[in-house]
């Protein structure tokens, strides 16, 4: 496998690097490619850079190659070609030194239903040869507390809701201090309350400096919790960067709030506004190149009662549509 040079991979993450450098890459891949035996090209020439300290959203419709990428990053499968570095070390070669510093939640946590949440964690901790048995109970108690499961710690895991199981999985990933957390679709299958809990937990974990890499097929989830994102479609990287910059790359929508939607739509079209859409109590369209004050004045002159007028910030979805020319189709 071809290796990245230290500079390309973010040399700052190598041993001896200045800690806390926001530009340092915790994950860096170059031309990472996976073709499965059946011939399916699941990941195609991926160049990914995950800055230290970021909450990095790995976004893409189902089947776009997210899980395959994560499995390569974690050394679970070998790439067909290309290279991946995690915490500055090549994967899968450096798995033994890298993986103890990475907490992963991939394809649901492996739990024993007949054991309590606490006993599951005790069992996992005792399977870790580096974990000191004398501090085991305290470590498990701290991990349960971290994910808000102290009260439910004595309950059998099979009685846990899906959200509680995910939280227990996160607690397992947090038994040891981690530099990186890798979470594959952590809110998949959860109800809205469970999703909120996991999202706030992710924010909390990130606030103490842990880099979090999470995959999701939910655009709004990425916008809510992530500082950075990469967007995948059909195995290829569409774009990556700070979430604010990604959305800013797309133009926002002109939004007019008014009870007179029909008149407003007509006046906007006359003013050169394209893609005019009438909704309940508001009309939206592509902002025209001309002075927006003139557009507003034209609306008023046409007798439209304008209650709100402005350009709404573009969402990540707008950016995705602008980049691919397609809607963000969750079903892939
Ligand atoms: N073991 C495998 N053998 C052959 N093809 C596979 C295998 N695993 C995944 N694929 C195919 O590779 C492509 C990418 O799948 P992958 O699971 O990485 O996507 P994903 O973005 O994680 O989607 P999902 O959210 O559904 O898991 C898909 O077309 C999938 O059918």
- Name the residue among 100, 85, 18, 16 with its Cα closest to residue 53: 18
Ligand 1 lined by 68 (C-beta under 6 Å): yes
CB within 8 A of 71, min separation 6: which ones?
77, 106
Asked whether 50 and 25 are in contact (CB, 8 A), the reply is yes
Ligand 1 centroid–CA 229 distance in Å is 20
Ligand 1 lined by 216 (C-beta under 6 Å): no
**Quick one: pLDDT at residue 328?**
61
**Quick one: pLDDT at residue 10?**
38
Rounded to two decimals, the pTM is 0.76
Residue nearest to atom 16 of ligand 1 (CA): 65
CB within 8 A of 301, min separation 6: which ones?
none
**Quick one: pLDDT at residue 327?**
63
Domains along the sequence of the chain with CATH? 6-248 (3.40.50.300), 253-312 (3.30.70.100)
**Quick one: pLDDT at residue 289?**
82
Question: 58: which strand partners?
Answer: 215, 230
Best residue among 32, 33, 36, 70 to mutate for probing ligand 1, ranked by most atoms within 8 Å of CB: 36
Ligand 1 lined by 67 (C-beta under 6 Å): yes
Ordered mean pLDDT values, 10 residues apiece, the chain (332 residues): 41 40 77 93 95 92 90 93 94 91 82 93 91 94 91 94 88 90 87 85 86 88 89 90 77 89 95 91 89 92 94 74 64 40
Ligand 1 centroid–CA 329 distance in Å is 16
- Name the residue among 159, 146, 173 with its Cα closest to residue 112: 159
Ligand 1 lined by 265 (C-beta under 6 Å): no
Atom of ligand 1 nearest to the CA of 188: 25
Ligand 1 lined by 36 (C-beta under 6 Å): yes
Output the CA–CA distances (angstroms, integers) from residue 274 to 133, 210, 289, 313, in the order listed: 67, 44, 11, 17
Asked whether 70 and 77 are in contact (CB, 8 A), the reply is no
Ligand 1 centroid–CA 66 distance in Å is 8
By CB atoms closer than 10 A (0-12, 13-18, 19+), residue 114 is exposed
Ligand 1 lined by 66 (C-beta under 6 Å): yes
Q: Tokens for 32?
A: 């990472």
CA distance 311 to 288: 11
ipTM of the complex in this document = 0.95
CB atoms within 10 A of CB 90: 18
Ligand 1 centroid–CA 46 distance in Å is 15
Q: Is the peptide bond before 47 cis (omega within 30 degrees of 0)?
A: no
Residue nearest to atom 1 of ligand 1 (CA): 36
CA distance 325 to 116: 49
Output the CA–CA distances (angstroms, integers) from residue 174 to 110, 144, 164, 170, in the order listed: 15, 9, 15, 6
Ligand 1 lined by 217 (C-beta under 6 Å): yes
**Quick one: pLDDT at residue 56?**
96
């Amino acid at each position: 496998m071809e290796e990245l040079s230290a500079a390309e991979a973010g040399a700052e993450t190598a041993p001896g690097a200045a800690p806390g450098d926001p530009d340092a890459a915790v994950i860096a891949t170059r031309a990472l490619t996976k073709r499965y035996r059946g011939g399916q090209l699941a990941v195609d020439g991926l160049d990914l850079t995950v800055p230290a300290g970021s909450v990095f959203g790995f976004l893409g419709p189902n089947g776009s190659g997210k899980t395959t990428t994560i499995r390569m990053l974690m050394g679970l499968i070998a790439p067909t070609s290309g290279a991946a570095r995690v915490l500055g070390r090549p994967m899968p070669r450096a798995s033994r030194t890298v993986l103890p510093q990475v907490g992963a939640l991939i394809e649901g946590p492996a739990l024993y239903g007949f054991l309590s949440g606490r006993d599951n964690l005790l069992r996992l901790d005792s399977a870790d040869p580096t974990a000191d048995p004398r501090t085991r109970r305290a470590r498990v108690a701290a991990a349960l507390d971290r994910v808000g499961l102290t009260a439910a710690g004595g309950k059998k895991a099979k009685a846990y809701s899906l959200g509680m199981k995910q939280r227990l999985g996160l607690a397992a990933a947090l038994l040891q201090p981690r530099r990186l957390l890798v979470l594959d679709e952590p809110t998949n299958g959860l109800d809205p309350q469970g999703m909120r809990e996991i999202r706030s937990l992710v924010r909390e974990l990130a606030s103490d400096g842990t880099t979090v890499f999470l995959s999701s097929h939910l655009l709004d989830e990425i916008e809510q919790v992530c500082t950075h994102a990469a967007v995948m479609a059909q195995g290829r990287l569409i774009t990556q960067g700070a979430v604010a910059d990604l959305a800013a790359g797309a133009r926002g929508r002109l939004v007019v709030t008014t009870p007179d939607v029909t008149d407003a739509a007509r006046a906007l079209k006359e003013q050169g506004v394209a893609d005019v859409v009438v909704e309940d109590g508001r009309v939206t369209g592509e902002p025209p190149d001309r002075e927006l004050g003139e557009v507003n004045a034209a609306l008023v002159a046409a007798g439209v009662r304008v209650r709100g007028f402005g350009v709404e910030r573009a969402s990540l979805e707008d950016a995705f549509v602008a980049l691919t020319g397609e809607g963000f189709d969750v079903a892939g």
